[in-house]
């Protein structure tokens, strides 16, 4: 029955009581964006730009980068035009005009499990705790400037102004400086919540940026101090861990107080049961691989916000992930 409901799900994301929850797709390139734009996802919650350059030895120039980014923006720009929307959503407004299409582009997340020749240091003792994500600007500030210039060019050419977020932000100053650089180019700034420090200071980050996006893969790894690639530690590396859910809740509450959107774009958003819990914790959008989008959307359509809140409270109060899952399931049925 769940499979049938998923196959028939067309979006937009709504709970059974009508509460809007945007369901978005994670994409890696133009081909994936075209597939996503033809499906029920309302937009893109995570465009992982580093995946376009994994095998690239030399940094592509601004023109070449702009062409790659435009490939991802274009299918959604066309869809927005077909729907009669401007393709230029204003996040602080938060309202649900579904003819607007949201595309969230993430600046280069090079390093750790995704080394890129031209951006990543060669030898690091602990690459997951090293110079990755936004931290590459410590070695070469121009890398970010050139990427943002390319994104602005792609925005101008496609008529779709993306939201732009930085990975691996750890401090308020990093968020403030990133936001200024993004705004200077007429784009909408946000940061990812992957390092627990940023969840703890979410309200302060939200004074500078227009949205937050929780990367539960890394937030779990850094909260539980468990390598996300280690199969020995899979029980710790589980977004159902109550400590991870508590940090998601803190972040979502900060977003609600600031009146700004807080999404989840890690793998957690692809699990339909956990998606309900995340909504109960207060997140306003979910972004998952395009293949997972229909199952998530269909599940959300069967539950109310009140049920999601009960499931979230139960999962957070549980001792461990297995108990949390069972408690959430009970609260939703």
Footprint of Mg ion (CB under 5 A)? 194, 215, 218
Q: Residue 215 or residue 280: which is nearer to ligand PEP going by CB?
A: 215
The item of Mg ion, ligand PEP, none sharing an interface with residue 134, based on CB under 5 to 8 Å by kind, is none
Q: Residue 220 or residue 307: which is nearer to ligand PEP going by CB?
A: 220
Q: Residue 245 or residue 265: which is nearer to ligand PEP going by CB?
A: 265
Q: Residue 35 or residue 51: which is nearer to ligand PEP going by CB?
A: 51
Query: Which among 247, 190, 178 is positioned nearest to 216, based on CA atoms?
Result: 247
Distance between CA atoms of 280 and 252, rounded to whole angstroms? Answer: 10
By CB under 6 A, name the one of 217, 256, 302, 304 that touches ligand PEP.
217
The item of Mg ion, ligand PEP, none sharing an interface with residue 162, based on CB under 5 to 8 Å by kind, is none
Distance between CA atoms of 126 and 137, rounded to whole angstroms? Answer: 18
Distance between CA atoms of 262 and 104, rounded to whole angstroms? Answer: 12
Query: Which among 111, 114, 125, 118 is positioned nearest to 142, based on CA atoms?
Result: 118
The residues in 9-48 that bind ligand PEP, with binding defined as CB under 6 A, are 46, 48
Count of residues of this chain found to bind ligand PEP when the rule CB under 6 A is applied: 10
Judge residue 298's burial from the number of C-beta atoms within 10 Å of its C-beta, 0-12 exposed, 13-18 middle, 19 or more buried.
Answer: buried
Distance between CA atoms of 121 and 204, rounded to whole angstroms? Answer: 30
The item of Mg ion, ligand PEP, none sharing an interface with residue 265, based on CB under 5 to 8 Å by kind, is ligand PEP
Distance between CA atoms of 216 and 264, rounded to whole angstroms? Answer: 7
**Torsion sign (Cα): 226, 230, 233, 238:** positive
The item of Mg ion, ligand PEP, none sharing an interface with residue 48, based on CB under 5 to 8 Å by kind, is ligand PEP
Q: Residue 265 or residue 295: which is nearer to ligand PEP going by CB?
A: 265
Q: Residue 65 or residue 112: which is nearer to ligand PEP going by CB?
A: 112
Strand boundaries in 28-130, DSSP class E: 43-48, 102-106
By CB under 6 A, name the one of 42, 194, 210, 271 that touches ligand PEP.
194
265 binds ligand PEP (CB under 6 A): yes
The item of ligand PEP, Mg ion, none sharing an interface with residue 307, based on CB under 5 to 8 Å by kind, is none
Residue length of the chain = 333
Q: Which stretch binds ligand PEP (CB under 6 A): 79-87, 210-218, 299-307, 315-323?
A: 210-218
What the block records as the tokens of 126 is 């602990």
- Report the SS3 class of residue 112: coil
Residues near ligand PEP (CB under 6 A): 46, 48, 109, 194, 215-218, 265-266
């Amino acid at each position: 029955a769940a499979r049938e409901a998923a196959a028939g799900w067309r979006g937009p994301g709504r709970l059974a009581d009508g509460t809007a929850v945007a369901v978005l797709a994670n994409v890696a390139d133009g081909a994936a964006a075209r597939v996503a734009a033809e499906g029920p996802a309302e937009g893109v919650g995570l465009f992982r730009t580093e995946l376009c350059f994994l095998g690239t030895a030399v940094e592509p120039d601004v023109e070449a980068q702009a062409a790659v980014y435009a490939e991802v923006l274009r299918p959604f720009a066309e869809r927005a035009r077909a729907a009669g929307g401007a393709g230029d959503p204003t996040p602080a407004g938060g309202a649900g005009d579904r003819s607007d299409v949201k595309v969230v582009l993430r600046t280069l997340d090079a390093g750790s499990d995704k080394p890129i020749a031209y951006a990543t240091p060669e030898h690091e003792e602990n690459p997951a705790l090293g110079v990755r994500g936004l931290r590459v600007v410590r070695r070469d500030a121009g890398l970010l400037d050139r990427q943002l210039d390319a994104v602005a060019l792609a925005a101008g050419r496609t008529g779709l102004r993306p939201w732009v977020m930085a990975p691996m932000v750890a401090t308020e100053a990093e968020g403030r400086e990133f936001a200024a650089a993004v705004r200077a180019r007429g784009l909408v700034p946000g940061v990812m919540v992957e390092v627990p420090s940023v969840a703890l200071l979410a309200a302060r980050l939200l004074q500078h940026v227009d949205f937050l996006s929780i990367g539960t893969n890394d937030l779990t790894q850094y909260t539980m101090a468990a390598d996300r690639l280690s199969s020995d530690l899979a029980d710790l590396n589980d977004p159902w861990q109550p400590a991870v859910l508590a940090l998601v809740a803190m972040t979502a509450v900060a977003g609600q107080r600031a009146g700004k959107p807080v999404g989840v774009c890690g793998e957690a958003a692809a699990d339909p049961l956990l998606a309900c819990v995340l909504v109960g914790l207060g997140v306003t959008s979910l972004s998952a691989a395009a293949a997972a989008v229909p199952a998530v959307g269909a599940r959300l359509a069967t539950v109310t916000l009140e049920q999601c809140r009960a499931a979230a409270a139960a999962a957070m109060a549980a001792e461990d992930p297995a108990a949390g899952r069972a408690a959430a399931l009970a609260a939703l049925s």
